[in-house]
Structure formats: C-alpha cells, structure tokens
Structure 1
Amino acid sequence: MEFKMKKDVGFTTTTEYGELHVAGDEAYGFRPFQLMVASIAVCSGGVLRKILEKKRIQIEDMTIDTKVDRIEEEANRIEKIYIHYRIKGENLNENKIKQSIELASKNCPMAQSVKGSIEIEETFELV
C-alpha cells in the first residue's frame, strides 16, 4: 500500500474498494487506532464465521461491538480491546460458541500480531 500525504491533514491510499483517508483528526479520516480495532474485530469475526461454518453451526446474523482502553500517559497506546459478539440463530449451543470464539482468537492473524502487547477480551451473547 502506498500512502500519500494530504494537503490538510493525514494521508490517503487507494484500494480496489476506493479511497481510504487516515488522519489523527476524525474530521479528516479514520483514526489509526480505529483501523487497528476494526482490523482485529473483523478478522476475529471472519475467522469465527469460518469456524462455525466448518462445524456446521448455522447462524443468521452476527454483530460485533467493540470498546477500547487507551493509556494517555504512554502515547495514548491501546491497552485493551473488548470484543462483544451478538450472534443470532436458532438452537445455538453456548459451549460450542464459546469454544469456537477461543479457537478463532488463536487463529486470527491480527489478534496474534498484537498478542503480548494489547489485551483482547471477547464475550458473546446469543440473540
């Protein structure tokens, strides 16, 4: 990826899906921490979805909510990411979903890339 400096604030890159604007100020694009949280949450959710499919556990829908703890005194670094899955389906087994989430966490490249530096807490509810 190539990022080009914008005249005002931030950088931009072009992907097959369009332009991505990244800046420290939300008025000019996505903030870097938002992209990191999105990468980890969506990667984990995508891996979870594949695991559930392989286990033949059918879900109707999944929503991922995130929350972030940052440490201002340490360059505002991300300390912890909370990922909460809301999974919709019929006759879902809580234990199987929990095991699948644990397996997904171990197989998500983005989560594994920050292992040891950012804590990730995953929870779920069946709706």
Structure 2
Amino acid sequence: MKYSMTEHGFETATQFGTLTVSAKDEYGFRPYQLLVSSVAVCSGGVLRKVLQKMRMPAEDIQIEVKEVRRNPEVADRVESIHLHFTVKGQDIDESKMSRAMELTAKNCSMVQSVKDSIDIRETYEVIR
C-alpha cells in the first residue's frame, strides 16, 4: 500500500476504492477507528470460521464496539476495546460459546498483534 498526503490527511487506493484517513472525522476515517475496526472484524471473521468448524454455523454475527478506552496522557493511546458479539443461529450451543470465543481470540491475527498492549474484552449473546 502507498499513502499520499492530502490537505487533511492521507489517502490510498485499494481495490474497493479510495481509503481516506484523517485526524478529523469530517475528512476521513480516524486511525484509531481503523485499528478498532481491524480488531473487531478480524475477530468476527475468525468467530464465523470457528463456529463452522464446531458445526454451529452462524446465520448472522453483529459486532458492537461497546467501549474504547484511550489514554490522553500517552498520545491518546488505545488501552482497551470491549467488543460485544450477537450471534444468531439455530444450531448455536451456548455451552460451547466460551470455547469458541477463546479460539477466536487465539486465532485472530489482529488480537494477537495487540494483545500485549491493548486489553481486548469480548462478550457475546446468542439469539436463536
């Protein structure tokens, strides 16, 4: 990827269009939003695969970022992220969900990349 400076941030061309990143909401995605999105969506994708392998396919997975805690005294560093997964599926066995969540965290490359610097909290609910 190659990023080019713009008046209010940076842009890069992707196969899906232009990605604009800026420190200001009105001009593009903020860097911390992309970081949080990467952790959330990676986790969701891994959870989907884990559930399939456990023979509990999800009909739908919604991910809500409940909280992002940042430290204004250390460059607004992201210190914690709370992700809440709502998993819908007729074959989801709630007694196996904690194991599915453990495997998700273990196998998500984004969670593993930040695990020693950002506290990731994952909660879930199952809807049939």
| TM-score, structure 2 as length reference | 0.95
Any idea what the Cα deviations from partners look like across 1:17-58, whole Å, max 9, x if unmatched? 110000000111000000000000100110110111111102
Separation in 2, partners of 1:64, 1:54:
20
Question: What is the total number of aligned residue pairs between the two structures?
Answer: 126
Gap runs ≥5 in structure 2: none
Q: CA deviation at 1:93?
A: 1.5
Q: Which residue of 1 aligns with 2:22?
A: 23
Amino acid at match of 2:51: L
Q: Stretches of 4+ moved more than 6 A in 1?
A: none
Q: Select between 89-98 and 57-66 the one with higher mean Cα deviation.
A: 89-98
Give matches, 1:35-114, under 5 Å. 35-66=34-65, 67-114=67-114
Conserved 8 A contact 2:56-2:89: no
Separation in 1, partners of 2:45, 2:21:
23
- Measured on the aligned residues, the alpha-carbon RMSD in Å equals 0.9
Q: CA deviation at 1:91?
A: 4.4
Aligned-pair identity in percent equals 49
Gap runs ≥5 in structure 1: none
Q: CA deviation at 1:3?
A: 0.3
Conserved 8 A contact 2:59-2:88: yes
Separation in 2, partners of 1:93, 1:43:
22
Conserved 8 A contact 2:57-2:91: no
Any idea what the Cα deviations from partners look like across 1:44-88, whole Å, max 9, x if unmatched? 110110111111102211100012011111111001000100011
